[in-house]
Amino acid sequence: MRYLMAEGFKKGVSDLFIAVPVGDKHGLWVEMKDVNKTLCSVSKDQMEHIELMTKMGYEAIWCAGSDIAIAAITTYMSQK
């Protein structure tokens, strides 16, 4: 993690960003968690990032597992 911070990464930033505006959203931020994780597995920094991005006009979510993330991304992209 230290090397990522040295490269300019910020604590809490979501794992994935889709830089495609859809409707009134500027893009999609996705925080990835393992299957069967719950909301309490999202750190305070991660939740603050999700909330900030939502306020700034982005879609920002967390997903427990890749299947849910794929479904969420597909749903987001199909709104074009």
Q: What is the pLDDT of residues 45-55, one digit of tens each?
A: 999 999 999 99
d(CA 53, CA 78): 21
Q: How many CB atoms lie within 10 A of CB 27?
A: 17
pLDDT at 39 over 60: yes
Q: Is the pLDDT of residue 20 over 90?
A: yes
Is domain 12-77 in CATH 2.40.50.100, yes or no?
A: no
Helix %, strand %, coil % of the chain (to 5): 40, 20, 40
pTM for the full model? Answer: 0.86
